[in-house]
Structure 1
């Protein structure tokens, strides 16, 4: 076992070979965050391992990241690790969240290609072979895009579609619709990702921001094999805000236009009142119109302050330069 403090200022040199190894077998790393997934671990390895072994011309490793699980996830992962030399377990010091756990796994992965993968098996393992095939055709990134979202509720499908539309309309970085973290990235792409210094990481945006030659496949998303989703409606809302504020300043810029529009409306209304007074004389304005205007302007100002506060909060958190994650131990077969 080895211990280290991880996640700070990873230095990497970007390669020029697009991630394709010149050896007979390419090493492919499957990166899997686990958080309270004890009930599904046996099923996960029973389904995934045979699929990886059937892909011709590759060696593989499975980098499992225990993201501070409170159940027996770590113990069950260690049991698998003890029997399988291709499995490595990265145990984080606490629950840092999926984005940090994914970053830890990507940093630990050693493959010529790296594939983030969910422990719930909603992404079918059989699709991995198709990702590898497109990578061998010369693509640096191969996206796995959901053909349908039938496993999601109607509300979740609607809000997801709205998020992608809004994000891609206001952001400088376009996120492919219905494409999650499941994708293949060459070593060149991974090394580029490891050079990005931010602590608050919206991985879908970072994956898109680095660019590179990209292909995509489509697949049918499956129901969860065990357990429940860890993303509540509130967490999804905060995740969406993270995405909307991570790759653009449009939410800040729009308040310039709102303020300008409000000022023009106020000037026009003042001119109207002046003309009406000259033509019809002075009258006593009503209380309702005054309080409505005050509440409207006050609410608008508070919303604008909230948006500014969101960005200031991000600056504050980034200025601390805390690590994205802390690794307690890395377990591998035969390590002491």
Structure 2
């Protein structure tokens, strides 16, 4: 939380980017205009997640205009959540704000987050009141997922929230120690604890470009969230098998008769076995991925960071690989 000191706090804004050439210049302009009007000190950390367009060139040109802009480039696409992880690890601020680079999460919300932080909250998350420019299907599935996750996990993950949030340095320090190969950042921040609250805002339509989270990636993120913080899929598989066994027992005892029931039971048994095996395989897969102890991501190069910062961010070494130019 904000310290009782005369030093002007440094706020790090972390923005993962992937093929954002259509709108990244507008994002840079909006952010630079925002920080110019604020009393806090800022650094803007863009993490390029293997873009194949002109995103990096635009950001490099922007760096010539402002020393506040810093750039971390991955060697390839490692994923949105790992881009957030890398950006947070490179951040040096007293507080770190994570936001998307498409301006759907407006910088105008950040002052409200800072005010809550100064009031003593360690985490201030953006809670969506409206979601403009999104289909009813995405709104429905997102709302359903958040409520499902809240009901089946042992931690309280706020509903209708994404990764847009402010985190105090002590939360960031703990987050830096968590080396999960398939991170679900918003869940990890909730798991860490400390005093947390939200600020309501209206999520805007994308300024330009298209969503980098198609249905396949959304389902993958949802699965990561569920398997990271709940064992319910495993228990559901076990309970399903038990219920089938009870039904089979009734069939054997003659309390239920009919060929149709037998066929249904066999089909249901097979489906539940596959469900249980699939859930078990997912958890085993996560354990296997973690056991390989590979770097979470590979940083091809960085721009705008001091040499001491680069050395600091490579500890522990298993967290990442920093390629030398």
TM-score in same-fold range (> 0.5): yes
Relative contact order, higher structure (CA 8 A, sep 6+): 1
Alignment of 1:144-293 (within 5 A): 144-272=126-254, 286=259, 288-293=260-265
Q: Contact (CA 8 Å) 2:128, 2:202: kept in 1 or not? A: yes
Q: What is the aligned counterpart of 1:119 among 101, 109, 115?
A: 101
CA distance in 2, matches of 1:121, 1:35: 14
- Secondary structure of residue in 2 paired with 1:85: coil
Give the 3-state SS of the residue equivalent to 1:148 in structure 2.
strand
| 1:310 paired residue number | 282
Residue 37 of structure 2 corresponds to residue 54 of structure 1: yes
In the TM superposition, what is the alpha-carbon distance from 1:208 to its structure 2 partner? 0.9
Q: Are 2:56 and 1:74 equivalent residues in the alignment?
A: yes
User: 5 Å matches for 1:28-47?
Assistant: 28-47=11-30
Using the TM superposition, give the Cα deviation of residue 269 of structure 1 relative to its aligned residue in structure 2, in angstroms: 2.6
Quote the Cα distance in structure 2 between the aligned partners of 1:62 and 1:165: 33
Deviation at 1:157, TM superposition (A): 1.2
Aligned Cα root-mean-square deviation (Å): 1.9
Do 1:21 and 1:112's aligned partners in 2 also have CA atoms closer than 8 Å? no
Whether contact under 8 Å (1:19, 1:187) holds in the other structure is no
Q: Which secondary structure does the structure 2 equivalent of 1:201 belong to?
A: coil
How far the C-alpha of 1:289 sits from its partner, in A, is: 4.4
Question: How many equivalent residue pairs?
Answer: 308
Larger Rg: 1 or 2? Answer: 1
Q: Distance in 2 between matches of 1:44 and 1:175?
A: 28
Distance 2:232 2:102 in 1: 35
Structure 1 residues 260 and 145 mapped into 2: Cα distance closer, same or farther (>3 Å)? same
Q: Aligned partners of 2:243, 2:51: CA distance in 1, in Å? A: 50
Q: Is the 8 A contact 1:82 1:332 kept in 2?
A: no
Paired residue for 1:26? 9
Match of 2:303 in 1: 331
Q: Distance in 2 between matches of 1:107 and 1:171?
A: 27
Q: Output one character per residue of 1:36-67: Cα deviation in whole Å (capped at 9) or x when no partner.
A: 011212111111111122222x1000001111
Deviation at 1:22, TM superposition (A): 2.3
Q: SS of the counterpart of 1:298? A: helix
Say which SS state the counterpart of residue 155 (structure 2) adopts: coil
Aligned partners of 2:247 and 2:255: how far apart in 1?
12
The 8 Å contact of residues 227 and 283 in structure 2, kept in 1 or not, is answered as: yes
Residue 103 of structure 1 aligns with which residue?
85
Match of 1:223, SS?
coil
Task: Give the corresponding residue for 1:297.
Answer: 269
Structure 1 stretches (4+) deviating beyond 4 angstroms? 333-336
Secondary structure of 1:126's counterpart equals: helix
8 Å CA contact 2:238, 2:276 repeated in 1: no
In structure 1, distance between residues paired with 2:246 and 2:14: 54
Q: In 1, distance between residues paired with 2:91 and 2:163?
A: 16
- Structure 1 contact 20–186 (Cα < 8 Å) conserved: no
- Return closer, same or farther for 1:309/1:111 CA change in 2, 3 Å cut-off: same
Task: Check whether the contact 1:33–1:64 (CA below 8 A) recurs between aligned residues.
Answer: yes
**Alpha-carbon distance change, 214 to 334 in structure 1, aligned in 2, over 3 angstroms:** closer
Equivalent residue number for residue 311 of structure 2: none
User: Could you say if the C-alpha distance between residues 84 and 307 of structure 1 is closer, same or farther in structure 2, counting changes exceeding 3 Å?
Assistant: same
With the length of structure 2 as denominator, give the TM-score of the two structures: 0.90
